[in-house]
Amino acid sequence: MSKVKYYYDPETLSYRKIERKKRRTAKYISMFVLASALFGFVFVFIASQYIESPKERALKRELANMQLQYELLNKKMDEAQSVLANIEERDNNIYRLYFEANPIPEEQRKAGFGGINRYKTLEGFDNSKLIIESNKRIDVLQKQIVIQSKSLDEIAKLAEEKEKLLSSIPAIQPVSNEDLTRMASGYGMRTDPFTKARKMHWGMDFTAPRGTPVYASGDGVITRADSNSSGYGRHIRIDHGYGYVSLYAHLYKYNVRRNQKVKRGDLIGFVGSTGRSEAPHLHYEVFKDDQRINPINFYYGSLSAEEFDELLKHASMENQSLD
């Protein structure tokens, strides 16, 4: 226990206990602690501006890695974009052109999203620009893919219809004519075998022995298989749709009935000489919208260019038809 010291206080004329020193010391100590704490705080604060903590270093590394990943993603988007551009070009210049669909304009394909700002929540950060730009690119890419996909759906539908049309039109010769010697008389002005007068021959005549198979020249429905049309004898008519009808005359026998569906190449009957016919042959006609047209223009699909030339030569010879 320390001694209690007193001093004389002249003002009060009494002795008082000395306590001041102790209080002053305590005051000094607390001031020192406060000052060093403040200094330490300022020092740490300043130092933190220049020296990174391990946590900061880790975050910085992570951020740098993220930026790198964004750049890599953008490169991948470049690649996807160029593949898509290639598909779009083929779509516009080949597929849509071939199927007579209008090309899709560039502005329509590359349209972004208008109206409200979809990227508002991404604004206000150091990396906002990078993130917003990447998002915009993805959005445009996505929209482009949707447009392309719809276009291909449309093309697929058109192709299906075209395929149906192509298999329906009467595009092959109705009898086997491999050496092209069966064509006796073509479409045009010919000498009538009975009256010897020149008149229009509305079809093509193929010479063939009685009983030679006759084939449907395109997909369709049998609308007639009878001999109730003057001159044609036993004959068949096929409605192919799209305005096309084919007719097979002077048959010996039928292999189909009325209302029966047939495919191109189906055996429908046999060559004969019924009706107004001079010798066994097949008289073949093609109608488009009720008008008779030259069937030779439809054989391109099954013949080479040379064969077609040869057939054309046979068909255009001014000879006597077999009717």
Contacts to Zn ion by CB under 5 A = 205, 283, 321, 323
Comparing CB distances to Zn ion, the nearer of 139 and 192 is 192
**Number of Cβ atoms within 10 Å of the Cβ of 180:** 14
CB of 187 to Zn ion, least distance (A): 9
Q: What is the nearest approach in angstroms of Zn ion to the Cβ of residue 109?
A: 55
Tokens matching residue 260: 């029966």
- Among residues 74 and 227, whose Cβ is nearest to Zn ion? 227
| CB 244 to Zn ion: min, Å | 19
Q: Which one, 155 or 296, has the nearer CB to Zn ion? A: 296
The helix (H) or strand (E) run that includes residue 310 is helix 305-316
Give the residue at shortest CB distance from Zn ion: 283
Strands, E, within the chain: which ranges?
Answer: 6-9, 14-17, 183-185, 188-191, 198-201, 204-207, 213-215, 220-226, 235-241, 244-249, 251-254, 261-262, 267-271, 281-288, 291-293
Nearer of residues 144 and 207 to Zn ion, judged by Cβ: 207
Smallest distance, Å, CB 231 to Zn ion?
10
- Give min distance, CB of 292 to Zn ion, in A: 12
Kindly state the smallest distance separating residue 191's Cβ from Zn ion, in Å. Answer: 12
The DSSP code sequence of 137-175 is HHHHHHHHHHHHHHHHHHHHHHHHHHHHHHHHS--S-SS
Q: Which is nearer to Zn ion, 88 or 205 (CB)?
A: 205
Cα–Cα distance, 6 to 113 (Å, whole number): 90
Beta bridge partners of 245: 239, 287
Question: The tokens 């993603």 sit on which residue?
Answer: 73
If the CB atoms of residues 96 and 190 are measured against Zn ion, the closer one turns out to be 190
Count of other CB atoms within 10 angstroms of residue 127: 13
**Cβ partners under 8 Å of residue 138, min gap 6:** 77
